[in-house]
Amino acid sequence: MPFVSDLYFLIRKRGRTVNTLLRNTVNAADTDAQYDEKVKQLLSNKIILAHILVKTVDEFQGMNPKDVVSYIEGAPFISVVPVEPGLTNMAIEKDGQRIVGLNTENAEINEGLIRFDIIFYVRMKDGVSQIIINLEAQKDEPTNYHILNRAVFYVSRLVSSQKERDFVKTNYNDIRRVFSIWVCMNMEENCMDYVHLTDDKLLGSYSWKGGLDLLNIVLIGISNELPEHDDKYELHRLLSTLLSMELSVNEKLSIMENEYNIPVDDRIREDVSAMCNLSQGILEKGEAKGEAKIIFKMYEKGYTIEQIADVAEKSVEEVKTMIAKKKPVLA
């Protein structure tokens, strides 16, 4: 029964192809996830956060970032605090009292939830008041939604989740100021926008009491070109250096140490090195995927295997293998 045996062979072959495709997809997703995690780890270093605060929070403008580090309270929470309403906080019983804090339970408990990338508290220079900072990193500007809309949702959650955690009952004057800072890579230009509440007087001149400065959004666009080191692009050059897929480990560390006086400890060195290794893998996979797509397009256009091999500077067997991977096994 040759037909049955041939069909069995094709099914087995298809199964191997699907398994390979799934394995490659999972590996690529895993590499991307690891890279994203390393980005967050690197950005969450207090000296890096201090550089960001100096350029985004009015109270710290003009200060030496090293002096700002001490105002950052505790360790930043990385990818653990859920954004979803009702899940951002967690209540515990301690000494007979109900204490409400940020929900930092193991991520596996509520797997699949959207979480803040980085969130932390900052003590103000008066030694009493606090602000809440959320830092988000995006590989590029999303196409399926407007990033400002998401930032508005996040900053709103940062305010509403303070109920019972930072203020109780109707003590609305205890609401902390919040900042949601978004770093968006691969943009057309280096840019930065500050979005906040304003009071437009439509009738009369009465001054309503309250904090127009409670909600703050900062959008930072990072282009693929490393900007010159000047005051205008000081933060952009630092972030571009940290997140670059082109610079080597030593080039990044050199700029951090020599231009920004950032002490490169073992943790920073490890995070930068891991990011560079992962980014190289992502670049290589992207290049290989693009090359395979072009080769298959040429094949569909009617070019011979030999012509494609000559243009792509590959062997005939390599081209055949790449085309076979792209062709559907069964109709």
Summarised one tens digit per residue, pLDDT across range 51-88 is 999 999 999 999 999 999 999 999 999 988 888 877 77
State residue 306's pLDDT score: 83
Instruction: Locate 289 and state its tokens.
Output: 């995927």
Contacts for 298 with CB less than 8 Å, ≥ 6 apart? 307, 308, 311
- In degrees and rounded to multiples of 5, residue 252 shows phi and psi of -65, -50
The secondary structure of 272-292 as a DSSP string is HHHHHHHHHHHHHHHHHHHHH
Q: How far apart are the first and last CA of the chain?
A: 21
State which H helix or E strand residue 225 sits in: none
State residue 281's pLDDT score: 46
State residue 291's pLDDT score: 62
Return d(Cα 292, Cα 283) in angstroms, integer: 14
C-alpha closest to that of 331 among 14, 8, 16: 14
Burial of 89 (0-12, 13-18, 19+ CB in 10 A): middle
φ/ψ bin of 198: left (φ > 0), alpha (ψ from -120 to 50), beta (otherwise): beta
Amino acid at 299: Y
User: Burial letters for 287-315: b for 16+ Cβ neighbours within 10 Å, e otherwise?
Assistant: eeeeebeebbebbeeebeeeebbeebebe
Contact 189, 225 (CB under 8 A): no
- Cα radius of gyration rounded to whole Å, the chain: 26
The secondary structure of 86-117 as a DSSP string is TTSEEEEEETTEEEEEE----TTTTTT--B-S
Q: How many Cα atoms sit within 13 Å of 60 on the Cβ side?
A: 23
Contacts for 45 with CB less than 8 Å, ≥ 6 apart? 267, 268, 271
State residue 283's pLDDT score: 44
Return d(Cα 157, Cα 81) in angstroms, integer: 11
- Which parts of the chain register pLDDT below 50? 1-28, 98, 106, 108-109, 281-287, 329-331
Return d(Cα 25, Cα 3) in angstroms, integer: 32
Return d(Cα 151, Cα 221) in angstroms, integer: 14
Return d(Cα 103, Cα 85) in angstroms, integer: 12
Summarised one tens digit per residue, pLDDT across range 9-37 is 434 444 444 444 444 444 445 666 778 88
State residue 92's pLDDT score: 58
